[in-house]
Amino acid sequence: MLLTVAIIGGPHGLKGEVRLDLRTDDPQRRLAEGSVLETEPADAGPLTVVRARRSAEATYVIFDEARDRTAAESLRGVRLVVESDEDEDDDDEGWYPHQLVGLRAVHVDGRELGTVADLEHLPAQDVLVITEPDGAEARVPFVAELVPAVDPDAGTVTLDPPRGLFAADPADDDESVADDAEDAGGRP
């Protein structure tokens, strides 16, 4: 299984440096000087890291195979990929999309909510994309409070989402509004 280390962005300067959209939690190892990375599409690589640097806002790399701005521009959108290590699949510090896609999403009360379609890596946090049975998509922040359990062996992700996050569980359905009004001593 191939894992995406980064997606190459636009060139930075004139000497072939490119900005990376990182998808790895170990950039020092993956982008070490001399590292050779396969690419998707395959005909864009392999690429050899000459130098990598991190600034406050981004990670930049120069590849031996792209030493000028024109060559760097031709790499825009290329994915840097590596073969999955077996020990990475057992790492509890994070999840890769291939480990989660296809798992059944189950509510803590046992209801089926749908199927995991993707894991999006956003700047603030990762988000699970769940395809609901009716085809709608829900996005659930991948935090312990909302995703208390992930069990790949059982094929499930257990969720405790707030009402309204899923189309099948609206926040303001008529029944709950009527119940709330009656509980408060008012009329429905």
pLDDT for 50 equals 93
Q: What letter would DSSP give residue 44?
A: G
Q: What is the pLDDT of residues 30-59, one digit of tens each?
A: 888 998 999 988 888 899 999 998 887 788
Cβ distance 87 to 48 under 8 Å? Answer: no
pTM of the predicted model over 0.75? no
Hey, how many other C-beta atoms are within 10 angstroms of the C-beta on 187?
7
Q: What is the pLDDT of residues 122-145, one digit of tens each?
A: 766 788 999 999 999 999 988 888
- What the chain holds in terms of domains, given with CATH numbers, is 2-85 (2.40.30.60), 97-159 (2.30.30.240)
| Cα–Cα nearest to 26, from 94, 128, 76, 116 | 94
pLDDT for 89 equals 42
List Cβ neighbours of 4 (8 Å cut-off, separation of 6 or more): 23, 24, 40, 79, 80, 81
Cβ distance 71 to 78 under 8 Å? Answer: no
With cut-offs at 50, 70 and 90, classify the pLDDT of residue 167: confident
